[in-house]
Amino acid sequence: MKILALCLLFFVDFYASKTSLADSKVKSKISECQRCKVLSDSIKYWLDKTSRGKYEGGDAAWEESKLKSYSRSEVRLVEVQEGLCSELNKHQDYCYSLAEDAESLIEKWWYLDNPQSVDLYTWLCIDNLHYCCPKNHYGESCSPCPHINNKLCGGHGHCNGDGTRKGNGTCHCHKGYTGKHCELCDSNYYSMDSICKPCHKACSECTGEGDGACKQCKDGWEMVNGVCTDINECLAPSVCRAIQYCVNTEGSYDCRTCDASCKTCVGEGKFNCTSCDNAEALWNGICVNGRIKYDILYQTVTRCCKYSSLFTIAYFLHRYSKSLAPLAVSALAVYLYFTEKAYNMTVIEVAKNFFFN
């Protein structure tokens, strides 16, 4: 049984590794033109790496006079070919494969009268292998990409298949532009100084900048005195469910769930309830049961007693020294303000709920 389990585990792991390898190859697949560009870049890299090499030992003067200089020698070519593609972190397999297929062409280029005067990429990828086209050309016959005003796709797009033997040459416009040569502004864009700019977020169509230049408003906005103004959907009744409250946003609205203590509410948290379950009472936006109600009343009575004591002290200070009275009253007012602010319900709100609800 254990052997069977191990075999099954090995099979699953082997299949997963194969699948992962296949997926990685699919993801890293590149075009013939890109392969050729990778190879030509690698050749240039190794030409640079070997640019200062010389023959090992011997009479250098004799070598220079009787043999080709190192820069054009077969020795250097072999060194370049041996190093080809080894420096790459990606697409290395594609580079090795093409280097093998194009070995005779590389040697032919090397033995030209002056190979350095001929751009390798152009000579190899465009003129001989026919994998690529010159820049701003596309397709099998390397046709020129569309231009308008001496600019490729009007300067606002790129040519499909540019630089390759593929594609159909149509202009793929940048965001905000449209037309055969990307010469027009797309919908919800307007032209300013030959540049297409986005309309205001309130517009679905416009003639210029700002919400006052809208020809038509987007959903969630309405035209008021020539300006697209946000519609407050939360003013409409029953826009959200009973256990939710409405939050207006620009051009839309959001329904959010009430706090668990509320039956219905008008906002976030437990202090914005508008109704409560039968077992609880609504006190100033809070749903309270008997225990919570008792705690609130107890805290309020305790605060009232403390305030009464402070008022008594302030009164006697006033009787004792009129100069200290303003200071005592000010200190008392500040204390009362911050103490009441720290509680969710003020003494007055508690009294109102207790006596009138």
- pLDDT band (50, 70, 90) for residue 304: confident
- For the chain, the distance separating the N- and C-terminal CA atoms, rounded to the nearest angstrom, is 76
Q: Which of 14-18, 29-33, 244-248 has the lowest mean pLDDT?
A: 14-18
Residue 14 pLDDT > 50: no
Closest C-alpha among 248, 274, 251 to residue 262? 274
- pLDDT band (50, 70, 90) for residue 61: low
d(CA 147, CA 216): 34
Mean per-residue pLDDT, 290-315: 73
Are 317 and 325 contacting, i.e. CB atoms less than 8 angstroms apart? yes
Q: Which of 231, 249, 265 is the last residue of a domain?
A: 231
- Residue 356: the pLDDT is 54
Q: Which of 4-13, 128-137, 300-309 has the lowest mean pLDDT?
A: 4-13
CB-CB neighbours of 56 under 10 Å? 6
Percent of the chain with pLDDT over 90: 53
- Residue 333: the pLDDT is 76
Closest C-alpha among 231, 209, 207, 208 to residue 218? 231
- Residue 27: the pLDDT is 44
Residue 245 lies in domain: 241-287
Q: Which amino acid is at 112?
A: L
Are 184 and 177 contacting, i.e. CB atoms less than 8 angstroms apart? yes
Please check whether residues 248 and 170 belong to one and the same domain. no
- Residue 25: the pLDDT is 40
Please check whether residues 283 and 294 belong to one and the same domain. no
**How many structural domains does the chain have?**
5
Q: Which of 39-53, 71-85, 276-290 has the lowest mean pLDDT?
A: 276-290
Residue 206 pLDDT > 90: yes
Please check whether residues 95 and 177 belong to one and the same domain. no
Please check whether residues 37 and 121 belong to one and the same domain. yes
7 lies in a domain? no
Token readout for 318 is: 């006033």
Q: Which residues of 187-211 are buried (b: 16+ CB within 10 A; e: fewer)?
A: ebbbeeeeebeebbebbeebeeeeb
Residue 16 pLDDT > 50: no
64 lies in a domain? no
The string of DSSP codes covering 31-62 is: -HHHHHHHHHHHHHHHHHHTTT---SSS-HHH
Token readout for 63 is: 């070598």
| pLDDT digit string, tens, across residues 164-179 | 999 999 999 999 999 9
Please check whether residues 37 and 126 belong to one and the same domain. yes
- Residue 282: the pLDDT is 87
Please check whether residues 128 and 207 belong to one and the same domain. no
2 lies in a domain? no
Mean per-residue pLDDT, 314-325: 70
Indicate the Cα dihedral angle 197, 202, 205, 209, nearest 10°: -40
Residues near 256 by beta carbon (within 8 Å), at least 6 away in sequence: 244, 245, 246, 247, 268
193 lies in a domain? yes
Percent of the chain with pLDDT over 70: 78
Mean pLDDT of all residues belonging to the chain? 82
- Residue 300: the pLDDT is 73
Mean per-residue pLDDT, 83-98: 94
24 lies in a domain? no
Are 353 and 300 contacting, i.e. CB atoms less than 8 angstroms apart? no
22 lies in a domain? no
| pLDDT digit string, tens, across residues 280-298 | 888 878 888 867 666 777 7
Q: Which amino acid is at 216?
A: Q
- pLDDT band (50, 70, 90) for residue 354: low
90 lies in a domain? yes
- Residue 285: the pLDDT is 85
| pLDDT digit string, tens, across residues 103-136 | 999 999 988 867 667 788 999 999 999 999 999 9
Q: Which of 49-63, 69-83, 274-288, 323-337 has the lowest mean pLDDT?
A: 49-63
Please check whether residues 226 and 246 belong to one and the same domain. no
Please check whether residues 152 and 109 belong to one and the same domain. no
Q: Write down the H helix ranges in 28-138.
A: 32-49, 60-66, 74-83, 92-101, 103-110, 120-121
Are 125 and 132 contacting, i.e. CB atoms less than 8 angstroms apart? yes
Mean per-residue pLDDT, 137-144: 94
Please check whether residues 211 and 253 belong to one and the same domain. no
Residue whose structure tokens are 């109704």: 275
- Residue 345: the pLDDT is 66
- Residue 191: the pLDDT is 94
Residue whose structure tokens are 């409405």: 246
Please check whether residues 306 and 349 belong to one and the same domain. yes
Q: Is 203 helix (H, G, I), strand (E, B) or coil?
A: strand
Please check whether residues 305 and 346 belong to one and the same domain. yes
Closest C-alpha among 197, 193, 220 to residue 206? 197
d(CA 133, CA 2): 60
| Alpha carbon distances (Å) from 99 to 30, 39, 40, 109, 125 | 15, 7, 9, 13, 12
- Residue 52: the pLDDT is 66
Mean per-residue pLDDT, 306-323: 73
| Alpha carbon distances (Å) from 121 to 42, 44, 282 | 11, 10, 81
Please check whether residues 93 and 113 belong to one and the same domain. yes
12 lies in a domain? no
Residue 18 pLDDT > 70: no
